[in-house]
């Protein structure tokens, strides 16, 4: 697989990593690496690169339904 570059282009491994972390942001790198068939160091380096380039942000998101709101909505704006 080609490695993502510093200009923000994502390769397949970067996209797959982001997809996994969007589903479970606390999934251990060891589990992700085993599922992808790559060393943990590769996943760790890719994660760091995505964060450093600003392609991936780590934030805490409260569950609106559990903090008292009756509805939840996701809105994307470009």
**25-52 pLDDT tens trace:** 999 999 999 999 999 999 999 999 999 9
Looking at the structure, give the CATH architecture of the domain made up of residues 1-78.
Answer: Orthogonal Bundle (1.10)
Check residue 7 and give its pLDDT: 59
Q: CB count, 10 Å around CB of 36? A: 17
Q: CB count, 10 Å around CB of 51? A: 12
SS3 assignment, position 32:
helix
Q: Work out the burial of residue 4: count CB atoms within 10 Å of its CB; fewer than 13 is exposed, 13-18 middle, 19 or more buried.
A: buried
What's the distance, CA 6 to chain centroid?
17
Q: What is the pTM of this model?
A: 0.71
Show me where the domains of the chain are located.
1-78
């Amino acid at each position: 697989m080609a490695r993502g570059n510093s200009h923000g282009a994502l390769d397949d491994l970067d996209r797959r990593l982001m997809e996994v972390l969007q589903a479970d942001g606390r999934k251990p790198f060891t589990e992700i690496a085993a599922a992808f068939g790559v060393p943990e160091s590769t996943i760790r380096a890719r994660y760091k690169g995505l964060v450093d380039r600003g392609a991936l942000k780590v934030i805490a998101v409260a569950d609106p339904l559990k903090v008292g709101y009756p509805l939840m909505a996701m809105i994307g704006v470009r």
